[in-house]
Amino acid sequence: MPWQGRTKQDVLSEVRCAEILDAARGVFARKGYQAATMDDIAAATGVGKGTLYLYYRSKRDIYLAALERGLRAVCDITAAALDTAPTLEEKIRAFVLTKVQFFDDHRDFYRIYHAEFGNVVAHPSCLPPSVKQLYLGQVQQLEHAIEAARDEGRIRPVDPGKAAFAIFEITRGLIARRLLADPSLSAEAEGAFIVDLIWKGIANR
C-alpha cells in the first residue's frame, strides 16, 4: 500500500540499509577497507552475512554508500555554515571551524573519507560521479562565496577557485593533524590562524 510513494517495505528496507552503513562505517574505520571483512560488517550490524547482499551488491558498494552518506552530511553542514555567516571573512571562519567540528564529531567517517581521497582518488575513475561531485561541491561552495565578495570589491581581485582551493586544502590538513597526530591542537587557535592568514592574503590593500 503506497504511502508518500513509498511502501512500508521500502521504509523498513531503508532502515536496514542505514543500520548496515552505520555498522560498516565503524568497521572500515577500525580496520581499513581491505582488512574489514563482510563477516565483520555482518556481525557489527547484527545480521547474517547473506543479509548484507540483500541490500548491497558488494563490499565496495557498502563502502561507497557509507562514503557518500557522510560526504553529503559534510556538504550540507558546510553549506549551511556558509549561508549563515554574513561576511566573507566570517564565512571562511565558519567553513573551517564547522568542518573541523564535523570531523571531531565523526571520527569514524574521517578515516573512510581520507583513506578514499588520499588513495583511491588516485584512480578517480573508481569513484561514482555522485561521490566525486559531492567532493568537488565543497570547494565550489567556498568558491562562490569568494567570487561574490570579489565582484563586490570587498577583496582584491583574486581567482576565487584558487583561493577556495587553498582554504580547502589547509582545512583538510588541519583536520588530519588533529585527528591523527595531535588531538590537543586547538581548533579555535589553528582555525583563527588560517582565517587570519588567508584573509590578509586576499584582503584589499
Partner DNA sequence: TACTAATCTGACCGACCAGTCAGTATACAA
Partner DNA sequence: TTGTATACTGACTGGTCGGTCAGATTAGTA
Residue type, position 194, single letter:
I
Under the criterion CB under 7 A, does residue 120 sit at the interface with DNA?
no
Residue type at position 130: S
Q: Does 13 bind DNA (CB under 7 A)?
A: yes
Q: Which of 6, 8, 60, 162 binds its own copies (CB under 8 A)?
A: 162
Q: Which residues pair with 155 in a beta bridge?
A: 203
Using the rule CB under 8 A, is 93 a contact of its own copies?
no
202 binds its own copies (CB under 8 A): yes
| Residue 60 cell numbers, joined | 565496495
Integer Cα distance of 88 and 155 in angstroms: 9
122 binds, among DNA, its own copies, none (CB under 5 to 8 A by kind): its own copies
Number of residues that bind DNA (CB under 7 A): 19
Kindly identify the residues of this chain, within the stretch 57-116, that bind DNA according to CB under 7 A. 58-60
Kindly write out the interface string for residues 116-145 of this chain, putting x where it contacts its own copies by CB under 8 A and - elsewhere: -xxx-xxxx---------------------
Which of these, 68, 183, 199, lies nearest to 146 by C-alpha position? 199
Backbone angles phi, psi at 53, to 5 degrees: -80, -5
